[in-house]
Amino acid sequence: MLIILSLFIIFLLGFPIAFSLGIVSIAQIYTAGFPMLVVVQRMFTGADSIALTAIPLFILSGGLMLKGGMSKRIVNFADLLMGHLPSGLAMVSISACMFFAAITGSAIAATAAIGGIMIPVMAEKGYDKTYAAPLLACGGSIGPIIPPSIPLLIYGVMANVSVAKLFIGGFIPGLLMGLGLMIHGYIVGKKRNYIGRSQKASFKELAHAGKDAFLALLMPIIIIGGILSGVFTPTESGTIAVFYALVIGMFIYRELSVADVWQALVDAAKSTGQVLVVVAFASLFTWVITVNNIPQQVGAFLSDNIGNKILLLLVINIILLIAGTFIDTTSAIVIFTPLFLPLASSFGIDLVHFGIIMAVNLTIGMCTPPLGVCLFVSGSIAKISLKDQFSDLLPMLFVLLLVLMLITYIPQIVLFLPGLF
């Protein structure tokens, strides 16, 4: 257990999580007398996975779609569809986040992309920035749940679980998170008189906006439909996404320039490098804790003190919610998967179900104080502090936590769709 404690001490001192994992792992290998060649072998093995090639592809496709004009078309269509309702722009924001989630799979990307468009518009229409900013942070947290999802992809590789089943299992939880935030937004809009569009959009306006956004809206259907039908694998779907984004952005919408493509490639390379360095060091860390029987020790401790699955899941939820506030989702997945997976298996928890529970917990952490990264992104756009967002954030977090409890204790919410395929 000293290894785990050392990891968190080094991390809290300000070291990046990848280097924290590396320092602790290498120190343990050296003091235990193992050959240092193990370091290179385990790091290479961790990053050497066909499934992980989907990560740069999904990141690149998201960048191409954002620069190619897809996100603004999705927002415009959602505005015409729901903008006339009380708190209509709030519903538009959540809907846009959900659509964008099905393109990028990233909470931060969804918060930044949709928040950058919607927060200024909401402020102009009379919405309090203290409401708009946390709403977009919570909406962005849906990103890693609705497929495709980079955290679920990494969990699938580490846990040896079907990535396709994980992707499918994330649909209903992601939709519930979005629906819950919309219902809350409607209630708030009624109380505060947040008025959307002055009148409902005409059928002609909807048809025109739908036609303009059709190719952008078709993207998630092609990707997920291809995976479900077996036409291509989740990894291959990343290639399809990149090709589709290039063709639509450059030749149909004509908003994607060569310079934009180059910048998207550079951004994807940087982001991929950061993710894979974490994954490589996490593989080394996993080997170290396995050799030292730490998962077994954690499992034995919890088994001795927790007598049933209901209480176990509650304890795991609390641990992950706390960890998610100061560790990014990818890093937390690679740290906690090897710790909790044997325990989940021993209590008979379905590993697809458990993967979704982990992802939802950790993404909620991204919009939870004190260090929820999505809150800082939305706050920087709205130019307000974390403290300013707090009062309006609390009921939104309650909604997300309610959804978390539902999917934790009603497994069929997650497992129903994967069971059909």
DSSP-assigned states of every residue in 334-387: HHHHHHHHHHHHHTT--HHHHHHHHHHHHHHHTTSTTT-HHHHHHHHHHT--HH
Rounded mean pLDDT, 30-41: 90
pLDDT-above-70 percentage for the chain: 95
Q: What pLDDT was estimated at residue 263?
A: 92
Report the range of poorest mean pLDDT among 70-84, 180-194, 312-326.
70-84
Q: What pLDDT was estimated at residue 1?
A: 62
- Reported as a single tens digit per residue, the pLDDT across 144-171 is 898 878 889 889 988 989 888 998 999 9
pLDDT of 353 over the 90 cut: yes
Rounded mean pLDDT, 8-14: 77
Which whole-number Å values give the CA distances from 276 to 40, 56, 156, 265, in the listed order? Answer: 14, 10, 15, 16
Q: What pLDDT was estimated at residue 404?
A: 96
Q: What share of the chain is helix, strand, coil (3-state, %, to 5)?
A: 80, 0, 20
- Give the pLDDT band of residue 204 (cuts 50, 70, 90): confident
Q: What pLDDT was estimated at residue 117?
A: 77
Give me the numbers of helices (H) and strands (E) for the chain, helices first please.
21, 0
- Give the pLDDT band of residue 69 (cuts 50, 70, 90): confident
Q: What pLDDT was estimated at residue 412?
A: 95
Q: What pLDDT was estimated at residue 138?
A: 93
Report the range of poorest mean pLDDT among 87-96, 124-133, 348-357.
87-96
pLDDT of 413 over the 80 cut: yes
Q: Is the Cα dihedral 373, 378, 380, 386 positive or negative?
A: negative
pLDDT of 327 over the 90 cut: no
pLDDT of 120 over the 90 cut: no
- Give the pLDDT band of residue 403 (cuts 50, 70, 90): very high
How far is Cα 273 from Cα 44, in angstroms, rounded to an integer? 14
Q: What pLDDT was estimated at residue 102?
A: 66
Position with higher pLDDT, 4 vs 248: 248
- Reported as a single tens digit per residue, the pLDDT across 254-275 is 899 999 999 989 988 887 787 7
Q: What is the mean pLDDT of the chain?
A: 84
Which whole-number Å values give the CA distances from 217 to 98, 119, 137, 177, 245, in the listed order? Answer: 11, 22, 22, 20, 12
pLDDT of 326 over the 70 cut: no
How far is Cα 6 from Cα 18, in angstroms, rounded to an integer? 14
- Give the pLDDT band of residue 104 (cuts 50, 70, 90): low
pLDDT of 68 over the 80 cut: yes
Q: What pLDDT was estimated at residue 13?
A: 80
pLDDT-above-90 percentage for the chain: 23
